[in-house]
Amino acid sequence: MKVTVFGIGYVGLVQAAVLAEAGHQVCCVDVNPKRVADLQAGIIPIYEPGLSALVQQGVAQGLLQFTTDGAAGVAFGELQFIAVGTPPDEDGSADLKYVLAVASTIATHMASPKVVINKSTVPVGTGDKVKAVLTTTLKARQQDIQFAVVSNPEFLKEGAAVADCQRPDRIILGTDNPWAEKLLRELYMPFNRNHDKIIVMDIRSAELTKYAANCMLATKISFMNEMSNLAELLGADIEQVRHGIGSDPRIGYHFIYPGCGYGGSCFPKDVQALIKTAEQTGYNTQLLKSVEAVNNQQKHKLFGFLQQHFAGDLQGKTVAIWGLSFKPNTDDMREASSRVLMESLWQAGATVQAFDPEAMEETQRIYGSRADLKLVGTKEAALQNADVLVICTEWKSFRSPDFSVLKQQLKQPVIVDGRNLFEPSRLKEQGFIYYAIGRGDSVMQF
């Protein structure tokens, strides 16, 4: 089938590459000329495991192409995906200007029937707004061309995006249009062979399903972070509690890891956006507001440990940081907990000496060159002459370090672990001072 994807970011590019792998012809459109030029030259603008090979394969097979030409994109596919960003507005609600700009491009150039599929995460009611743009523009053009608007939210996880798109848990189709449903069932047939993963519902329910899913996951994280703070005060170990509750099949082991707060391009903005959507209906989402407040507080946790350890005086200290991306296997720094930490450290007069396997270029892009930010080539180099090591992201390569090297290189044997990677008793034996999340009052007193 011929498909156009507007927006070549984490969602659009991965979806396009996976559709091409399944044999569909995909034209990707983006307004960022550098991104398009890079892709045309074989440079993949984001890090996502398996993506580079898949994009190269799609291009080599002539199934995947990239352009900045919106009109050409509209002419290409009967199916038109919108996968552009929906960043938070000043008040936290989702900013729809990119989504509506694409709707307008489609409406301005379409000359044949189109199914417009919204993959971006958008507030309930956006489908109606996209429809209104299409209807009004076509009317102004005095064109009566058939179209349908579908909500098809994306559930991929960054870091495992390719695998998630190749084997989705579910494919939500928000539509009441049989023509659109038939085309999308055909498009997704290669991904729907093992059992039927397609769930058809009305467009508003599809839009809300995406927010409900992300808000549920964010709630699990904030719940565990709240429990971890309590565990510290009560002298309990949250890791033992986690095992204890995870064994209940109604709770399960997934997504109940305590840490230094959730980040990324989705949870923070989607929780905020649903709070705003609810407010517009006059409903006060008490739970979601608390989820957000707990998370914002948790993002200051690691800085709190450092202040505690250095008795409030971080001036002139060098802090080694392992992990800058908001989670492993991505270079995405949006809303990363490391950013809150680094910005607090700089304000307190400390220098950051950091290593991340993928996100250093992005860190450099965000913060530029500054004397108090040193990005180094290895995790060992980050330790040299540092006063303390802080772990912000649980990359696999950080999980089994050589503790003797670590001890030799750090000025003081202090580790602040935002992801609970190590066993406190083992570190204690080796003479480390170890701060971790919710690991009991006893753990903190060395």
Ligand X SMILES: NC(=O)c1ccc[n+]([C@@H]2O[C@H](COP(=O)([O-])OP(=O)(O)OC[C@H]3O[C@@H](n4cnc5c(N)ncnc54)[C@H](O)[C@@H]3O)[C@@H](O)[C@H]2O)c1
Residues carrying an active site annotation: 266
Instruction: Return the residue of 17, 26, 64, 156 that touches ligand X, per CB under 6 A.
Output: 156
Using CB under 6 A, count the residues that bind ligand X: 26
Which is nearer to ligand X, 317 or 327 (by Cβ)?
Answer: 327
Q: Give the phi and the psi of residue 355 in degrees, each rounded to 5.
A: -135, 135
Residues 100-119 binding ligand X (CB under 6 A) are: 101-102
- Candidate ranges 79-87, 283-291, 318-326, 420-428; the one touching ligand X (CB under 6 A): 79-87
User: Can you tell me the distance from the alpha carbon of 83 to that of 31, in angstroms, rounded to the nearest whole number?
Assistant: 12
Q: Does 160 bind ligand X (CB under 6 A)?
A: no
Instruction: Return the residue of 1, 22, 31, 366 that touches ligand X, per CB under 6 A.
Output: 31
**Would you mind telling me the total number of residues written for the chain in this entry?**
446
- Candidate ranges 1-9, 49-57, 132-140, 401-409; the one touching ligand X (CB under 6 A): 1-9
Tokens coding 146: 């058939």
Which is nearer to ligand X, 29 or 406 (by Cβ)?
Answer: 29
Structure letter (DSSP) for residue 86: -
Q: Does 26 bind ligand X (CB under 6 A)?
A: no
Which is nearer to ligand X, 154 or 226 (by Cβ)?
Answer: 154
CA distances from 269 to 154, 210, 263 (A): 15, 12, 9
Instruction: Return the residue of 3, 27, 39, 83 that touches ligand X, per CB under 6 A.
Output: 83
Least separation in angstroms between CB 31 and ligand X: 4
Q: Does 30 bind ligand X (CB under 6 A)?
A: yes
Helices 203-234 and 126-140 cross at an angle (nearest 10°) of 150
User: Is residue 144 packed enough to be buried (19+ CB in 10 Å), middle (13-18) or exposed (0-12)?
Assistant: exposed
CA distances from 50 to 231, 328, 360 (A): 39, 15, 20
- Candidate ranges 94-102, 132-140, 249-257, 297-305; the one touching ligand X (CB under 6 A): 94-102
| Bridge partner list, 147 | 114
Nearest one of 332, 1, 20 to 185, comparing CA atoms: 1
Instruction: Return the residue of 120, 175, 318, 393 that touches ligand X, per CB under 6 A.
Output: 120
Q: Does 32 bind ligand X (CB under 6 A)?
A: yes
Evaluate whether 133 touches 103 at the Cβ level (below 8 Å): yes
User: Can you tell me the distance from the alpha carbon of 393 to that of 382, in angstroms, rounded to the nearest whole number?
Assistant: 14
User: Can you tell me the distance from the alpha carbon of 1 to that of 186, in angstroms, rounded to the nearest whole number?
Assistant: 9
Q: Does 165 bind ligand X (CB under 6 A)?
A: no
Q: Does 291 bind ligand X (CB under 6 A)?
A: no
Residue that the structure tokens 């083992």 belong to: 426
- Candidate ranges 98-106, 198-206, 383-391, 401-409; the one touching ligand X (CB under 6 A): 98-106
Least separation in angstroms between CB 422 and ligand X: 28
Residue that the structure tokens 């352009």 belong to: 67
Q: Does 401 bind ligand X (CB under 6 A)?
A: no
CA distances from 63 to 25, 38, 92, 112, 164 (A): 5, 17, 38, 22, 21
Q: Which residue is nearest to ligand X (CB)?
A: 9
* Torsion sign across C-alpha atoms 151, 156, 162, 166: negative
Residues 237-266 binding ligand X (CB under 6 A) are: 265-266
Q: Does 150 bind ligand X (CB under 6 A)?
A: no
Q: Does 86 bind ligand X (CB under 6 A)?
A: yes
User: Can you tell me the distance from the alpha carbon of 43 to that of 140, in angstroms, rounded to the nearest whole number?
Assistant: 40
Q: Does 44 bind ligand X (CB under 6 A)?
A: no
Q: Does 174 bind ligand X (CB under 6 A)?
A: no
Q: Which helix (H) or strand (E) holds 378?
A: none
Instruction: Return the residue of 16, 39, 54, 84 that touches ligand X, per CB under 6 A.
Output: 84
Q: Does 10 bind ligand X (CB under 6 A)?
A: yes
Residues found near ligand X in the complex (CB under 6 A): 6-12, 29-32, 35, 83-86, 98, 101-102, 120-121, 154, 156, 158, 265-266
